[in-house]
Amino acid sequence: MAKCVVITGGSRGIGKACVEKFAANGFNVIFSYLKEEEKALKLQQSLVEKGYAVKAIQSDVSNSSDCRILMSNAICDFGKIDGLVCNAGISLSELLTHTTDEQLDKIMKTNCDGVFYCCREAAKEMIACQSGSIVNISSMWGISGSSAESAYSASKAAVIGLSKALAKELGPSGIRVNCVAPGVEEDMKDLAERTPLGRIGKAEEVADLVYYLIGDESSFVTGQIISCDGGFGV
């Protein structure tokens, strides 16, 4: 029986690369999107036409009910949840003194609460099966912090703390939890020049790491915060 993975924020970027990676390697894939319906359905169609089992579902991860429905769809369609990739997130470039309550609430609800909600719902199924693997996507700014991105950095740092705690809490149930902290993907020359490898990372490179962490090849790896930033944080 093929394994099932749920990927949030799968219509573009790292999420899209993860959807393509897992589908191409025989996983049944459920992925969520919020606003980019055209991109999500196009991705779904392109993969289904290749014979892969992929389903796109509109879902707002900042809403706990939506997260519950997302996981229920995976179980109803594919019978179980073997892996969860919490990738959905938003960014905010704003000075601390200019950040409004509404902006802070929105970014924390999406980037932190959304990961919590999805992990909570997936864990219920994984605990029943006594197996599973979760990968939460943070950011290099969640480790080092970024000037003028204090709210974003805080939300991604929270994901790191949550991942470490869940690795300890869920480990006895056979569930592994790891966190990936990517560098930036955009073509930013100044950051590329400050990166030891001399370039900006690719979404596919992050997806390769996520795939490894979800799979059986990393069966004794849990509670790890792994940077995929070309050495930027060294």
Catalytically active residues are: 152
Q: Average per-residue pLDDT in the chain?
A: 93
Structure tokens given for 190: 């100044």
The per-residue pLDDT for 33 is 98
Beta bridge partners of 133: 83, 176
pLDDT in tens, 7-47: 999 999 999 999 999 999 999 999 999 999 999 999 999 99
Instruction: Tell me how far CA of residue 217 lies from CA of 133, 182, 224, in angstroms.
Output: 12, 21, 15
Reported as a pLDDT band with limits 50, 70 and 90, residue 202 is confident
pLDDT tens-digit readout, 41-82? 999 999 999 999 999 999 999 999 999 999 999 999 999 999
Class assignment of domain 4-228?
alpha beta
Pairing verdict, β 132-137 and 83-86: parallel
Q: How confident is the model at residue 201 (pLDDT cuts 50, 70, 90)?
A: low
Q: Is the pLDDT of residue 195 over 70?
A: no
pLDDT for 209-219, tens place per residue? 999 999 999 99
231 pLDDT higher than 70? no
Q: How many residues does the chain have?
A: 234
Dump pLDDT digits (tens) for 126-154. Answer: 999 999 999 999 999 999 999 999 999 99
pLDDT > 70? residue 194: no
Domain ranges within the chain, ordered by starting residue: 4-228
Residue 110 predicted with pLDDT over 60: yes
The predicted model gives 80-88 an average pLDDT of 98
